Amino acid sequence: MLLIQRHVLDASTRPVEEQVRLRVERRMFLKRRWRATAEDGLEFGFDLAGRLHSGAVIYQTEAVDYVMIQEDPPGGCRAGGLDRMEDWKFAFPGGDRGGLGAGDAGSGSDAAL
């Protein structure tokens, strides 16, 4: 396992055929210590001083660059799963009536609160 403390380059200058991807979930970019395995099976341990970003080169050999790639979360939606209008209406009640709770102010048993 190779220990990574920071990225080598912001982006690879090599052709795609000479890049090995290390696919990680978005949340991993926020962590300081973690482990991951590249597409070719090489294992990396991370003890980072700063954040990484998608596309950063974390390790180089004479033949290839190892590049961080942000993987889409399960379901493929980066907006927290709110990709349909029905989901937005459920998450933000009243959103289909002109705003967050528009028309509800001052009505019902919560009016005194």
CATH of residue 65's domain is 2.60.260.20
Q: Let me know if residue 99 belongs to a domain.
A: no
The three-class DSSP label of residue 103 is coil
CA distances from 40 to 10, 11, 46, 56, 66 (A): 21, 19, 18, 17, 10
Condensed to tens digits (0 to 9), the pLDDT of residues 5-56 reads 999 999 999 999 999 999 999 888 889 999 999 999 999 999 998 889 999 9
Q: Let me know if residue 49 belongs to a domain.
A: yes
Report the number of distinct structural domains present in the chain.
Answer: 1
Q: Let me know if residue 32 belongs to a domain.
A: yes
Q: Let me know if residue 93 belongs to a domain.
A: no
Q: Is the pLDDT of residue 73 over 90?
A: no
In this prediction, residue 96 has a pLDDT band, given cuts at 50, 70 and 90, of: low
Q: How far is 20 from 23, CA to CA, in rounded Å? A: 10
pTM for this prediction = 0.65
Q: Let me know if residue 81 belongs to a domain.
A: no
Q: Let me know if residue 39 belongs to a domain.
A: yes
Q: Let me know if residue 57 belongs to a domain.
A: yes
Q: What are phi and psi of 18, to 5 degrees?
A: -105, 20
Domain coverage including residue 26: 2-71
